[in-house]
Structures are given as structure tokens and as C-alpha cells.
Amino acid sequence: MTTSNSSVVDPDARRGKHGDFFDGFLVDVMMDADSQLITTMDVIAANGEEAKDTIGLVRMEYEAHGNQIEQVSLDGIGFHGETLRTLEAPDGLSVDVITPPRVFNTTAGFSSDEFQLSEDGLHMICPAGKTSGRASRRKDKPNNTFYTFSGTLCATCALLNLCHPGMKAQSRTGRRVSKNDYDAEYARAREKATTPRYQAVRREHPAIERKLNEIVRHHAGRRALFWGQAKVRMQELMICFTVNVKRMVRLLNGQRDALRAVAMQSGQTRD
């Protein structure tokens, strides 16, 4: 969704990117897979965290309807460590998340899985049995812990070409290994992607894309008619209500046609 004016006019609007850059908001909707009725919706700033907003939508549906959601299918934004952990926590929301996995950029050579954490948790031990320097963190990558091996240690290692083939001569530092705080969640999501159940769920996922298309293209949901996030949320709420009413009519008509067909078939049987 875009606003007709920049954020200079609307203090709640922010700049985001969905294909092209735009100033405005994002509308997030959750839909029941069976009935294709919208169950919850939210409007966030264009630069908001869509993945984490899913947590709010799940909680909103539970509080509003008392529904315990068993499974949710997300697009690529769902491959987000904090979101996966919060949604899937057995002692929390306990929601099975289906989302397309991503492969993060990795260093050539041995994968980080082939390095073992030391007993004190402060160092990493490489496949050659060498120990790295102490663990460190970076502000720009708060979810990662880095372990760096000394250049001298790596230069004399017999496994150098297999572990760190890009190391430059006389480099002070050797192989650097990073471990993500959410490695377990990412591994679980990647494992799910290899199952037939994942494929079945993903075949149903385009239904939500069609629902969003109906909102933005057929009910003017792409452009905000008001200034302020609260008013835009009310606009989108009314659109979603309208879309749901249309869907309910279709469902009722389909049920009526099905009953009529059964009645006609029963009549033919009696004849």
C-alpha cells in the first residue's frame, strides 16, 4: 500500500521497498486455509518487520476467536530466526511454521557445522583439532557469534586448502567461523522443506496471494485514503470485512447448490 503523500505529510508513514521504494504502510492478513476467510489483519509502517508481525497476528486471532492455530504458511519473510523460535516454542504458541528456506552466504571450505564448540563455549575447534580465539559479537550482526583462527595456525595446517582455500599469504587472521543463535530453527525449517507435507502446504499458499490481489486491486487497498496509521488500519479493516462478506456469500451459494444437487439425485433414485 502506498500513501498519496510522502512521510513529511503523514508522520506515521515510512519508506519501504516492495519491488520499488514507496512511502506508506504494509497490510498483513491471516486467512483460514479451508474457508479462505480473513481471520486477522494489521497495518504496519512500510519499513516494519513483517515476519515478527506474524506473531502478533497469531496472538490476535487467539485472543479474538480462541483459535489455537496449528500451522501457518508464510512466504520467504517467515525464514526469520526470532519469528520461528517464538511461533514454534512448545511452551508458547506452538505453531508449526511452513516457509521457504534460504541459504545464507557461506565461506568456501568446511561448513560451520563441521566445527565443534569447546567445552567452555568460548572457542571453536576445527576439523584439524585446532582451537580458535575467543568468541566475539558484532553490533551489525547481533544474532551471530564469531570465532577467528590465527593466520599462523591456519598457514601451517595440512587441511588449509580444504578449509580456507581463499586465505592470502601473510594474512594475520585465518578461517573465521560464525554460528547463528537460531541455527536450530533454520535447520528445522530446511528439514521440513524436504517433506511431502511441505509441498502440499506450499501448493495451497497461492490462495493468500490471490486474496491480497483482491484487496489491493479490486477494493482500492493499494492506496491509503487517509493520513495516520490508525485511520489506514480502519480503511483496510473495512476492505477485509467486505472481502469476507463476498466470500461468505459464495460459500453459502455453494452449499445451497450442493444441497440442491443431492436432493435432485435422491429424487432420481426414488424414480
* Distance between CA atoms of residues 53 and 40, nearest Å: 11
Give the tens place of pLDDT for each residue, 146-189.
999 999 999 999 999 999 998 988 889 999 999 999 999 999 99
Task: State the average pLDDT over residues 177-202.
Answer: 95
79 three-class SS: coil
Residue 169's pLDDT is 83
Residue 7's pLDDT is 58
For residue 271, pLDDT beyond 90: no
* Distance between CA atoms of residues 209 and 73, nearest Å: 12
Domains recognised in the chain with CATH numbers: 14-100+193-255 (3.30.420), 112-181 (no CATH)
Give the tens place of pLDDT for each residue, 80-114.
999 999 999 999 999 999 999 988 767 788 988 89
One-letter amino acid identity for 186? Y
% pLDDT > 90, the chain: 73
% pLDDT > 70, the chain: 94
* Distance between CA atoms of residues 82 and 89, nearest Å: 11
**Cα-to-chain-centroid distance, residue 92:** 18
For 227, list phi and psi in degrees, rounded to 5: -100, 140
Q: How many CB atoms neighbour CB 227 within 10 A?
A: 16
Residue 8's pLDDT is 67
C-alpha to C-alpha distances, 171 to 42, 128, 145, 157, 174, nearest whole angstrom = 51, 19, 22, 14, 7
For residue 262, pLDDT beyond 80: no
**Cα-to-chain-centroid distance, residue 211:** 18
Residue 266's pLDDT is 67
* Distance between CA atoms of residues 147 and 68, nearest Å: 41
One-letter amino acid identity for 114? E
Task: State the average pLDDT over residues 134-157.
Answer: 93
Average pLDDT, the chain: 90
For 144, list phi and psi in degrees, rounded to 5: -120, 145
Give the tens place of pLDDT for each residue, 113-126.
899 999 998 999 99
Q: Which residue has the higher pLDDT, 66 or 177?
A: 177
pLDDT band at 255 (very low <50, low <70, confident <90, very high): confident
Output the pTM of the full model: 0.82
Complete DSSP assignment for 130-183: -B----EEETTEEEEEEEEEEHHHHHT-TTHHHH-TTPPTT-SEEEEEEEETTH
Sheet holding 20-31, edge to edge: 14-18, 20-31, 38-45
Strands 141-150 and 136-138: antiparallel
Q: Are 145 and 181 in contact (CB under 8 A)?
A: yes
The one-character DSSP state at 55 is: H
Secondary element (H or E) of residue 38: strand 38-45
Q: Which residues pair with 20 in a beta bridge?
A: 18
Strands 20-31 and 116-117: unpaired
* Distance between CA atoms of residues 146 and 133, nearest Å: 9
Task: State the average pLDDT over residues 123-143.
Answer: 94
